Amino acid sequence: PSTILEEFLIKRSQQKRRTSPANYKERHFVLTKSRLTYFEFRQGKKSIVKGSIDLAKIKCVEIVISDISIPCSYKYPFQVVHDNYILYVFAPNKDSRLRWVCALKEETKNNNTLIPKFHPNFWTEGRWRCCSQLDKLAAGCLLYDP
Ligand code: 4IP
Ligand code: ZN
């Protein structure tokens, strides 16, 4: 399948388990018509798929607006809400972030899984920084504009 967008970006672990670490990894992101996939790059070797999200399962794609200090070298976050997880991705600059958010929105705008509201800030330290709710799956606090 042909590539719509690809770039090295940084992601935060999705913390799928209660005990998952909150770490940050550089990954090669590739967007196609059907999937958002991220690879671990290995010098002189074949890249390894670390994760892949079915675009049909995406519920929201938006930039993250936050005043918290970002503990990785890329400082422009956006979020991909899918299934019961949130993938936070960090782009190196505003242009890159906008390209990803626009392309992902374009590919997911007709999903029947879109949510009416999302959280504009991070889920961190057991709460939403936007609305202070303590449930990771709590309904969003800002209208989503796909
Ligand atoms: C891993 O930490 C990596 O951050 C994984 O990211 C991440 O998976 C894991 O989160 C997290 O436990 P370690 O490398 O220290 O084990 P990647 O797959 O890019 O390597 P995600 O789901 O974020 O891809 P969990 O919660 O999925 O296990
Ligand atoms: Zn919120």
Structure tokens at 38: 């991220």
Q: How much is the average pLDDT of 16-43?
A: 96
- pLDDT digit string, tens, across residues 122-139: 999 999 999 999 999 999
Distance of alpha carbon 76 from the chain centroid = 11
Confidence of residue 101 (pLDDT cuts 50, 70, 90): very high
Q: What is the structure's pLDDT at 58? A: 98
| Separation of alpha carbons 85 and 81, rounded Å | 6
Q: What is the structure's pLDDT at 117? A: 98
Which atom in ligand 1 lies closest to the alpha carbon of residue 24? 4
Q: What is the structure's pLDDT at 27? A: 98
Q: Could you list the beta-strand ranges (E) of the chain.
A: 3-12, 24-32, 35-40, 48-54, 58-63, 76-82, 85-91, 117-118, 123-124, 127-128, 142-143
Q: What is the structure's pLDDT at 79? A: 98
Q: How far is CA 5 from CA 49, 89, 117, in A?
A: 16, 14, 26
Q: What is the structure's pLDDT at 61? A: 98
- Whether 18 shows a pLDDT value over 90: the answer reads no
Does residue 25 line the site of ligand 1, with CB under 6 A?
Answer: yes
Q: What is the structure's pLDDT at 1? A: 77
| Separation of alpha carbons 62 and 48, rounded Å | 27
Helix (H, G, I), strand (E, B) or coil at 5: strand
Q: Which residue among 9, 20, 26 is best mutated to probe the pocket of ligand 1, counting the most ligand atoms within 8 A of its Cβ? A: 20
Stated pTM of the model: 0.97
Helix (H, G, I), strand (E, B) or coil at 94: helix
Q: How far is CA 22 from CA 31, 114, 115, 123, 134, in A?
A: 24, 26, 25, 11, 17
